[in-house]
Structures are given as structure tokens and as C-alpha cells.
């Protein structure tokens, strides 16, 4: 994962600065400075600023992915699996607001335009988990007969909106509120 210390310092600095100020307001020189390396050093690890932005997205998506799978209750009832995902998802992002800010910005900028959904949800790994979950639910007549994308949107769209509001300080989410929101999401998709 971490090919070197400097590389991860750069990644860390970039993520912070990008999240705080936006891609184009985060000069390479400043990223370097915060990472504690020389400007030129970044280019040993990333071909260009764009590559840094993209690589960052890759890494964060992987991390998100891994998080969602942690303790994923394979083989357990659909409902339980659904609640696992919808618990981990906001939990992680609220704990890592930089990650959320970065991703949100990425997916709505020209960079992320070619990436699907809130791609977080569609990494090779998650892809299957989610597709399986929703397809299975439809087959078992537990979930509404809607395309997977729609089910996905119903399940995670509200969470994303809320997480943003929380991070920006417009709400103060607590465990209980999130719980009730997830249940409402379930109501949205269940038959």
C-alpha cells in the first residue's frame, strides 16, 4: 500500500488541502510544503496534478470499500446486510470528513464526470455486494422492483445529503438520528 513514507505524506497533504480549499485552490507548492517535501518530489510519485487528484480518488475509494466490507454479514438476512452497509457508510464519512469533501468535489468536477454514481458505491468490490444485495432483494420480493441504480439512490442518496449537512454544520447527526434515517431508507426500498 504505502510504497514510501513520502508518498503517503503527499497523499495526506493533498487530501487535506483539496478538501479544504478545492482542487484548483491548492497549489502544488503548498501541498509539497504541508507534506514536508520539495515541490519537485511530488512528481516522482505522480505524473502531474491531475494524476494526483485521480490517484487520491482511487485510494479513498478503496479505503471506503474496505470499510464497508469490514464485518459484512455474509449469508445473513438481507435486512441485516443492508443495515450493516448503511451504518458503516455514514460512520466512516463522518469520521473522515476530508474524505467526504474530497469525494463530493471530485464527483461533481470535470475530473469525476466519467466515474459512476457516487462511485464510492460502485468499486469492483462493492459493486457486487450492492448489486447482489438489491438483485436478491428484488428476486425475493422483499424490495421494490426498481433498477439497482434507483434502489441505490434511495438507499444512499439521503445519507449523502445528510452527511454533507452534518459536516457543514447544518445538522448535528447522532447515532440515533442516523439509525432512524436508515430505517426510513429501508422503508423507501422495501416492498
Partner DNA sequence: GATGAATGAGGCTTCATTCAT
Partner DNA sequence: CATGAATGAAGCCTCATTCAT
Footprint of DNA (CB under 7 A): 4, 6, 24-29, 37-41, 43-44, 48-50
Q: Which stretch binds its own copies (CB under 8 A): 55-63, 69-77, 125-133, 170-178?
A: 170-178
Q: Pick from 39, 51, 66, 149: which binds its own copies (CB under 8 A)?
A: 149
Q: Which is nearer to DNA, 44 or 191 (CB)?
A: 44
CA distance 17 to 26: 6
- Binding string to its own copies for residues 24 to 63, with x set by CB under 8 A, is what? xx--------------------------------------
Q: Which residues of 91-127 are buried (b: 16+ CB within 10 A; e: fewer)?
A: ebbbebebbbbbbbbbbeeeebeebeebbbbbbeebb
State yes or no: residue 17 binds its own copies (CB under 8 A): no
Q: Which stretch binds its own copies (CB under 8 A): 28-36, 52-60, 80-88, 176-184?
A: 176-184
State yes or no: residue 108 binds its own copies (CB under 8 A): yes
Residue 14 Cα distances to 4, 21, 132, 157, angstroms: 16, 10, 35, 27
Is residue 84 within 8 A of residue 69, CB to CB? The reply is no
Cell 467526504 identifies what position? 100
**Beta-carbon neighbour count of residue 191 at 10 Å?**
10
- List the single partner that 41 binds among its own copies, DNA, none, CB under 5 to 8 Å by kind: DNA
Q: Which stretch binds its own copies (CB under 8 A): 48-56, 60-68, 125-133, 180-188?
A: 180-188
CA distance 57 to 15: 9
Residue 136 Cα distances to 8, 68, 86, angstroms: 39, 19, 17
Q: Which stretch binds its own copies (CB under 8 A): 29-37, 45-53, 77-85, 109-117?
A: 109-117
Residue 120 Cα distances to 59, 111, 125, angstroms: 11, 15, 10
Q: Which residues of this protein are in contact with its own copies, per CB under 8 A?
A: 21-25, 101, 104-105, 107-110, 113, 116-118, 144, 146-147, 149-150, 152-154, 156-162, 164-165, 168, 170-171, 177, 180-181, 184-185, 187-190
Amino acid at each position: 500500500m504505502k510504497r514510501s513514507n513520502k508518498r503517503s505524506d503527499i497523499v495526506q497533504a493533498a487530501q487535506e488541502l483539496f478538501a479544504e480549499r478545492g482542487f484548483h485552490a491548492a497549489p502544488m507548492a503548498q501541498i509539497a510544503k504541508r507534506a514536508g517535501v520539495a515541490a519537485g518530489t511530488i512528481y516522482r510519485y505522480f505524473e502531474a496534478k491531475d494524476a494526483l487528484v485521480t490517484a487520491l480518488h482511487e485510494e479513498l475509494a478503496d479505503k471506503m470499500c474496505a470499510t464497508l466490507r469490514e464485518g459484512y454479514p455474509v449469508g445473513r438476512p438481507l435486512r441485516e446486510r443492508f443495515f450493516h452497509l448503511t451504518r458503516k457508510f455514514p460512520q466512516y464519512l463522518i469520521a473522515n470528513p476530508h474524505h467526504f469533501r474530497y469525494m463530493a468535489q471530485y464527483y461533481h468536477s470535470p475530473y469525476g464526470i466519467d466515474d459512476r454514481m457516487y462511485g464510492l458505491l460502485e468499486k469492483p468490490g462493492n459493486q457486487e455486494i450492492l448489486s447482489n444485495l438489491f438483485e436478491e432483494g428484488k428476486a425475493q420480493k422483499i424490495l421494490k422492483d426498481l433498477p439497482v441504480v434507483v434502489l441505490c439512490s434511495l438507499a444512499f442518496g439521503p445519507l449523502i445529503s445528510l452527511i454533507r449537512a452534518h459536516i457543514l454544520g447544518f445538522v448535528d447527526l447522532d447515532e440515533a438520528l442516523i439509525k432512524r434515517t436508515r430505517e426510513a431508507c429501508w422503508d423507501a426500498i422495501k416492498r
